[in-house]
Amino acid sequence: MRWRDLHAWWQDTREISSDTEGRGDLYQRLLKSLPDNSDGQKNLFIAYHQILGPSPGDPALLPEVWLHWDHKTVQERGPEALLRSRMDFLLLLPHGQRVVLEVDGSQHYTPDRGRAPDTGKYADMVTADRDLKLRGYDVFRFGHDELKRLDAAQDLLQQFLPDMFRRFRVSS
């Protein structure tokens, strides 16, 4: 999904006549969907858009995406099962490729955001990672500390994005 497609859909459904207003409104809505307690996610989102523009042909960065299909019910898998079906960011790329960008804070490997590692929490995370990969998603993980400052996020993505786009044959 390209930015221009998402923008056109947003502008049409919101009946916004100005392209500039539509782009700004969509950007603010996507930014607002990010969790307040994750500077890393916000910085990844902001840096992505600062680096790419985004130009209309660039892939749209979709935040906070939930997988909606699971043939097993919550009763069968338990209430925690669906929590593993949320992606921090999703890119729908050409050739049917789906890329997930995850920002991992301490909640991924410690209880209550503590300092002591929890091998059970880590096992849950790698299980979810494998499940996503088996469903056809390529997963790239970032440590929250890599992205906690906007300038660091910009530097990291300045290198990562061209490499990722080359790997998946993405062109604007």
Instruction: Provide the residue-wise pLDDT of the chain in tens; the chain has 172 residues.
Output: 999 999 999 999 999 999 999 999 999 999 999 988 889 999 999 999 999 986 888 999 999 987 755 556 666 766 555 555 678 999 999 989 999 999 987 565 666 666 777 788 788 888 888 988 988 999 999 999 999 999 999 999 999 999 999 999 998 6
Work out the angle between the directed axes of helices 39-52 and 19-32 (0-180°, nearest 10).
160
CA-CA distance, 60 to 100, in Å (whole number)?
12
* pLDDT of amino acid 106: 59
**pLDDT recorded at residue 79:** 58
Q: What is the pLDDT of residue 119?
A: 82
Q: What is the pLDDT of residue 81?
A: 55
Residue 156 token pair: 């990291």
Predicted TM-score of the model (pTM):
0.84
State the pLDDT at residue 122. 82
- Determine the residue type at 45: F
- Residue pair 58/157 in contact (Cβ under 8 Å)? The answer is no
Characterize the bridge pairing of strands 98-104 and 137-143: parallel
Q: Report helix, strand or coil for 91.
A: strand
- Output the six-digit token pair for 100: 């997930």
User: Which residue's structure tokens are 């969509």?
Assistant: 26
pLDDT computed for residue 105 by the predictor: 73
- Contact by Cβ (8 Å): 50, 154: yes
Which residues have C-beta within 8 Å of that of residue 24, sequence separation ≥ 6?
Answer: none
